[in-house]
Amino acid sequence: MNAIVVRNLTKYFTPSKKEKKKGRARNPSLESRKQGNNSIIRAVDHIDFEVKNGEIFGFLGPNGAGKTTTIRMLTGILKPTNGEILIFGQNFWNNPIKAKQIMGHVPEEANVYMDLTGLENLSFIGELYGISKKERISRAEQLLKKFELFEKRHLKSKKYSKGMKQRLLLCMALMSNPKILFLDEPTSGLDVQSSIIIKKLIKDYNKNGMTIFMTTHDMDVANEMCDRIAIINRGKLIGLDTPENLKKLKQEYQAVDFYFTKEAKESELENLSSVKEVRKIRDYYHIIVHDLNDGICEIIEYIKSKNLKVKKINTYEPHLEEVFLKMVNGGDDY
Amino acid sequence: MIIKDNEEIFSEELKSERFFIQVKRSFAIAKKDLKIYYNKGPVVIQGFLFPLILFFAFTVGRNIIPIYLISGLMAMVMFMTSTSIGPVVFPWETRSKTLERLIACPISIKTILLGNIWSSFIFGCVFSIVPLLLGILFFGLWASINILIIILGIIVASLAFSSFSLILSVPPTDMPANTMILTILIKFPILLLTPIFMPIHAAPYGIVSPLTYYTDIINVGLGESSAFGPHGLLLDFCILILFGLGFTFLAFVLHGKTLQKRFRG
């Protein structure tokens, strides 16, 4: 069963009077998607995707691509201009309260109540989800312990560091034990400790069956954590697959650097069937291959035949970041 | 927590249950509002300082009989305090992005507004008792007082003015100062139109102000007769209830229209 199905999801914004007067959108990155001063801004433009139950689904895109607008529509904050959102087969907008009952949301910007303590913030959210007092105190304390905030539970949230606030936000989203967790840039701008804690706990919750939908512009986070990734640019979905399959789209980046003890002949290396191109850079050879595995085997055979000795080998696998840049800048449609 | 295809994911509840669940959740919003906003600048200025300053401005050097002094003070305190939290909550929460957090929870905009009404209502009720106690202590008004009328009056008026205060936060701004300006521009003329610290018939134009009807209720509760005839008290309550319902309905509709504009960009 799919946890989320999105069909033809669209969000257009009409510029406010102020924006029309100034001739610019509130979010400058949306400006490029605006046609003329008075026209609509296409923040999300007819996108379709499915999120499988129990997977970590990454939503990647540059700033202003439409990631946050999408997550806001999926969590019921923004009403779509067009399209359909199904949560476990039920239309979200037929009964948004019912759908929201099984969701948790961690927004990008810390929006805890600064004048409430960590424990009060959690208890308040628990109350909004209809959790009994005894249960919400017990759940809150468990979460605070898990996220290493228990010692500071009686401290007002305004005294928390950014990382602590982000962890508290995650606790708030997990208070209701949601079936789907939405995370908007969960590790953005965090210290290493908070980032590690959050990533580990997200994985743990996912292992227990929680579906995770996360937006990020951090390729390493996406690569490390996500089962599948969708790439959005200028409001349109331009790619959707597993990180491994997406990386295959960037095959030409498969290369290997060989450091030999003595000079090799570039022309001979170039004549090898699995080699595409050879570049001599300082004391090593940067060899671009069709296939990394075949290439290395063939080059090693060549080395043996020429009695060369290898000092060091570095391999280059296609990186998700390169795929992302290629898709975003190259405008490749998926 | 792995979900199987035949597992029931969504809990089913009846429409009536849904209503009571939402009302219960609105109390949580009210509790939060009272905890957070009672000591915020605009609330302190409009809820405490303005009534105090205006009281002295209206009364110093004038020979006012105790009943009008206390009913006037109660009217002013009620109006100013019950309308002090409502206008600031929405812009404040828009700015701090906590409104987004609330909307993502399983509650409707009506639940949030209802929560705001409860918090303003409690604020208005609690502070209206202070001038009443002053009147009983210093002017010996306890002899002629009808406590039931006064309590009912406080409850109905506090609800009416609390819902009125939500209309003031309809513009989708994230600057509490903007709503403060609007609030002052609307609240002060209402206050000036109301015949407080004087007999109601002395200012016939006062009938346009809802506060006049609350003042009349308090006058009756303190032993005066109603300015609107033998059924005046009933009229006062009916008008305040109508104002309250009308403002609540209007707040639900208007906030529903402007809500999306708060999450733009």
Nearest CA in chain A to B110: A97
**Does the pLDDT at position A82 exceed 50?**
yes
Please report the residues numbered 256 through 295 in chain A whose beta carbons come closer than 8 angstroms to any beta carbon of chain B. Answer: none
| DSSP strand pairing (A56-60 vs A228-233) | parallel
Indicate the average pLDDT of chain B: 88
Measured in angstroms, the CA of B173 and the nearest CA of chain A are apart by 12
Please report the residues numbered 88 through 107 in chain A whose beta carbons come closer than 8 angstroms to any beta carbon of chain B. Answer: 88, 90, 96-103, 105, 107
Exposed / middle / buried, residue A15 (Cβ in 10 Å: 0-12, 13-18, 19+): buried
R_g of chain B computed on alpha carbons = 20
DSSP-assigned letters across all residues of A47-97: EEEEEETT-EEEEE--TTSSHHHHHHHHTTSS--SEEEEEETTEEGGGSHH
Give me the residue spans of the domains in chain A.
2-248, 251-317
Cβ(B78)–Cβ(B189) below 8 Å:
no
Nearest CA in chain A to B23: A128
Query: Which residues partner with A51 through β-bridges?
Result: A4
Give me the residue spans of the domains in chain B.
17-263
Task: Report how far apart, in Å, the C-alpha atoms of A134 and of each of A18, A127, A130, A140 are.
Answer: 49, 11, 12, 10
Cβ(A120)–Cβ(A155) below 8 Å:
no
| A contacts of B3 (beta carbons < 8 Å) | 1, 3, 53-54, 88, 179, 209
User: Which CATH number among 3.40.190.100, 3.30.70.980, 2.10.25.10, 1.20.1440.130 corresponds to the domain A251-317?
Assistant: 3.30.70.980
Measured in angstroms, the CA of A219 and the nearest CA of chain B are apart by 24
Give the DSSP H or E segment for B198: none
- Residues A2-248, CATH architecture: 3-Layer(aba) Sandwich (3.40)
Span A87-98, average pLDDT? 92
Using the structure block, give the residue that is written with the tokens 């001599």.
Answer: A280
| pLDDT score recorded for residue B48 | 81
Query: What confidence tier does A88 reach under pLDDT thresholds 50, 70, 90?
Result: very high
| A contacts of B98 (beta carbons < 8 Å) | 111-113
Span A131-157, average pLDDT? 94
| pLDDT score recorded for residue B240 | 97
Which residues have C-beta within 8 Å of that of residue B142, sequence separation ≥ 6? B136
- Determine contact: A83 vs chain B, CB below 8 A: no
* Of A324-333, B32-41, B202-211, the least confident: A324-333
Name which of B21, B98, B260 is nearest A78 (Cβ-Cβ).
B260
Name which of B2, B24, B103 is nearest A76 (Cβ-Cβ).
B103
* Of A143-147, B138-142, B187-191, the least confident: B138-142
**Does the pLDDT at position A72 exceed 70?**
yes
Higher pLDDT, A199 or A40: A199
How far is A21 from A32, CA to CA, in rounded Å? 17
| DSSP strand pairing (A82-87 vs A180-184) | unpaired
* Of A77-86, A275-284, B78-87, B252-261, the least confident: A275-284
| pLDDT score recorded for residue A254 | 78
Please report the residues numbered 132 through 161 in chain A whose beta carbons come closer than 8 angstroms to any beta carbon of chain B. Answer: none
Cβ(A70)–Cβ(A59) below 8 Å:
yes
Higher pLDDT, A224 or A127: A127
Indicate the average pLDDT of chain A: 86
Contact B28 A128 (CB under 8 A): yes
Mutant choice from A97, A114, A177 vs B, greatest count of B C-beta within 10 A? A97
Task: Let me know the angle formed at the C-alpha of A94 by A50 and B98, rounded to the nearest 5 degrees.
Answer: 80
Span B201-223, average pLDDT? 91
Span A112-141, average pLDDT? 95
Nearest CA in chain A to B97: A111
| Exposure string for B221-253, b = 16+ CB within 10 A, e = fewer | bbebebbbeeebbeebbebbeebbeebbeebbe
Output DSSP code: residue A334.
Answer: -
- Determine contact: B231 vs chain A, CB below 8 A: no
Nearest CA in chain A to B1: A209
Output DSSP code: residue B231.
Answer: T
| pLDDT score recorded for residue B3 | 56
Contact B96 A77 (CB under 8 A): no
**Does the pLDDT at position A40 exceed 50?**
yes
Measured in angstroms, the CA of A320 and the nearest CA of chain B are apart by 28
Q: Which of A310, A313, A312, A315 has the alpha carbon at shortest distance from A261?
A: A310
- Determine contact: A80 vs chain B, CB below 8 A: no
Measured in angstroms, the CA of A242 and the nearest CA of chain B are apart by 21
Contact A112 B98 (CB under 8 A): yes
**Does the pLDDT at position A117 exceed 80?**
yes
How far is B82 from B125, CA to CA, in rounded Å? 8
Measured in angstroms, the CA of B14 and the nearest CA of chain A are apart by 12
DSSP-assigned letters across all residues of A249-294: TTGGG-EEEEEESS---HHHHHTSTTEEEEEEETTEEEEEESSHHH
Cβ(B55)–Cβ(B76) below 8 Å:
yes
| pLDDT score recorded for residue A331 | 47
Tokens representing B251 are 């707040």
Span B125-135, average pLDDT? 88
Contact B97 A103 (CB under 8 A): no
Cβ(A51)–Cβ(A226) below 8 Å:
no
The phi-psi region of residue A177 (left if phi > 0; otherwise alpha if psi is between -120 and 50; otherwise beta) is left
Contact A90 B10 (CB under 8 A): yes
Contact A130 B106 (CB under 8 A): yes
Give the DSSP H or E segment for B22: helix B15-37
- Determine contact: B6 vs chain A, CB below 8 A: no
